[in-house]
Amino acid sequence: MTDVAKKMYAGAPGTTDTLLYTAVAAGGIVRSIHVANTTGTAATLTLGLNAGAALAAANHFLSAVSIPANATYDWSGFQVLDGSGTLRGLQGTASALTVTISGVEL
């Protein structure tokens, strides 16, 4: 089977626990995250991997990371999503952050 590059999420997460992506049965790998804060105030982002039905602290990959006003944040690396695992998130300020998450489906 061939790995498939995928835009896993693009948008503005809610201010409460939001399902962003569900991996295919074989799983996936998060490779990059780009966040843009389009407001004049710092805003926070929390993401959890394999969080099931809730964004519990034990599953946080990024926890209340502060993105400065009118700034961007970039992450690149290798985080594995279990088969049918979920990527969940929330932002601290409504509509402040635009998030793009890219990776590979296995």
Q: What is the pLDDT of residue 2?
A: 78
CA–CA dist 84, 28 (Å, integer):
9
Q: What is the pLDDT of residue 1?
A: 61
Residue with tokens 């409504």: 94
How confident is the model over 2-39, as pLDDT tens digits? 789 999 999 999 999 999 999 999 999 999 999 999 99
Tell me the whole-structure pTM to 2 decimals.
0.94
Which residues contact residue 61 at a Cβ distance below 8 angstroms, ignoring those fewer than 6 apart?
Answer: 30, 47, 48, 49, 79
